[in-house]
Amino acid sequence: MAKPLTITEKIILNHTDLQEISSGDIVNARVDLALGNDITAPIAIKEFSAIGVDAVFDRKKIALVPDHFVPNKDILSAKQAKMMREFAKKFDIENYFECGEAGVEHALLPEKGIVLPGDLVVGADSHTCTYGALGAFATGVGSTDLAYAMAFGELWLKVPESIKVIFEGKPKKWVSGKDLVLYLIGQIGVEGANYMALEFTGSTFKHLGMSDRLTISNMAIEAGAKSGIFEPDEITENYVKSRAKRDYIFYKSDEGAEYAKILNYNTETINPQVAFPHLPENSIDINEASAKNIKIDQSVIGSCTNGRIEDLRIAAEILKGKKIAKYTRLIVIPATPDIYRMAEKEGLIDIFMDAGGVVSAPTCGPCLGGYMGILADGERAISSTNRNFKGRMGDVTSEVYLANPAVCAASAILGKIAGPDEVVS
């Protein structure tokens, strides 16, 4: 009888020539997609040239997305983007997205149906783990690993142990996937799942859509995890069936599969969370955070974590008919061109601008301190992004507080960290 396997072990096994697999094994695995962006791909391209091969392994299984500094913010970023563009031209890379088509990579690729359930995906970006929301094994790698994957279509991987994370119960009003993952990281810490797969399950996810799952998988890396993954279900099928242009496979964990640990949480007791500087593990309840009366200079709503249309709708619900506080900046960044168009058609852009906010073209921009919202010395931002490390969004004396889009919108209105119930009657 075959040994029971987790969903992660099954996907990796089925991308090797092995008959069996166990956590801790080092395996050579075939990749379905190799991803790079305008920061990491240029390094990989240089290494690819050094390998001396004449072609990429499969021009349809590489994605190049200029999303961090595009439209180019300076000469150096223009050179980075140019190198990527020329590589894409030379090898006729099918999934290259020029400025105007490009969005934040981890929102764009699921939206386009480029990543699908059962895939094994590697990307030279730590938040590649986002795609686990679709039931794929997806993980970040270094640029040299990306070069090898682009050349040969395979990589050596260590099979991770898995932690099963069970959330039961219906979320409260204003509680989203962002809050669940911040709560989890607050419980286990930023090293609580080092080189493990976080497998998310439980009745809570019947109440939360794909956007929330993508957010949760995205931030698995903030607990040190190799990946974050959901077993595909009806919600997954509804999301991918109209997008997929190729076959996909729904894997699920076997009964009796081995886990390093199993964590259980009651979602009904969880309120919106705010992660204080300078780590995502510093998460506290919004009521406690609001009581501290922390003034903010900037609120950012966007990124690969929370720049999807569902996020913008929630923010607009809070902001409609209101104005942001004087001397406070609100920056809203739809994650892809399609999301931008939807927001425009639904009147969300007008709501943001009427409130006094700025709406940007899709970019990772402020999340990594790149552009489109850099903080000066001593400034504070509340942000729907995924990291709040020291200096992450600008000057090393600035501070970043992480929260969901509803909290970010409410905080912009009051000019201080605040919960949605403080501004919505």
pLDDT in tens, 227-279: 999 999 999 999 999 999 999 999 999 999 999 999 999 999 999 999 999 99
Where b means 16+ CB within 10 Å and e means fewer, 313-338 reads: bbbbbbbbebebbeebbbbbbbbbbb
Q: CA nearest 367: which of 379, 354, 342, 384?
A: 384
Structure token pair of residue 117 = 């359930």
Q: Identify the pLDDT of residue 171.
A: 97
Return the pLDDT at 1: 62
Q: Would you call 127 exposed, middle or buried from its count of C-beta atoms within 10 A (0-12, 13-18, 19+)?
A: buried
Predicted pLDDT at 294: 97
Token digits of residue 389: 């490390």
How many CB atoms sit inside 10 A of residue 386's CB?
A: 26
Strands (E) across 48-147 are located at 62-65, 95-96, 120-123, 137-140
Q: Which two tokens stand for residue 112?
A: 């386009």
pTM: 0.95
Confidence at residue 99, expressed as pLDDT on a 0 to 100 scale: 87
Q: Which two tokens stand for residue 386?
A: 């995924």
Q: What is the pLDDT of residues 137-174, one digit of tens each?
A: 999 999 999 999 999 999 999 999 999 999 999 999 99
The CATH H-level superfamily of 7-264 is Aconitase, domain 3 (3.30.499.10)
Burial of 59-68, coded b for 16+ CB within 10 Å and e otherwise, reads eebbbbbbbb
Q: At a CB cut-off of 8 Å and minimum separation 6, what does 276 contact? A: 282, 283, 284, 289, 388, 401
CA angle centred on 166, ends 312 and 205, rounded to 5°: 35
Selection from 151, 165, 100 nearest residue 122 by Cα: 151
Tell me which DSSP letter residue 394 carries.
Answer: B
Which H or E element spans position 162? strand 161-168
Domain at 276-422: CATH architecture: 2-Layer Sandwich (3.30)
β strands within 4-118, DSSP E? 26-30, 33-37, 62-65, 95-96
If you ran DSSP here, which 8-state letter would residue 25 be given?
-
3-state secondary structure labels for all residues of 165-218 = EEEECCCCCCCCHHHHHHHHHHHHCCCCCCCEEEEEECHHHHCCCHHHHHHHHH
**DSSP element (H, E) containing 330:** strand 329-332
CA distances for 256 relative to 246, 251, 259, angstroms: 31, 15, 9
Domain ranges of the chain: 7-264, 276-422
Q: Are 315 and 402 in contact (CB under 8 A)?
A: no
Compute the distance between CA of residue 413 and CA of residue 425 in angstroms, rounded to an integer.
14
| pLDDT tens digits in sequence order for the chain, 425 residues long | 689 999 999 999 999 999 999 999 999 999 999 999 999 999 999 999 999 899 999 999 999 999 999 889 999 999 999 999 999 999 999 999 998 999 999 999 999 999 999 999 999 999 999 999 999 999 999 999 999 999 999 999 999 999 999 999 999 999 999 999 999 999 999 999 999 999 999 999 999 999 999 999 999 999 999 999 999 999 999 999 999 999 999 999 999 999 999 999 999 999 999 999 999 999 999 999 999 999 999 999 999 999 999 999 999 999 999 999 999 999 999 999 999 999 999 999 999 999 999 999 999 999 888 999 999 999 999 999 999 999 999 999 999 999 999 999 999 999 999 999 999 87
Give the Å distances, CA to CA, from 165 to 199, 201, 216, 309. 6, 6, 11, 26
**Alpha carbons 243 and 109: distance in angstroms, whole number:** 10
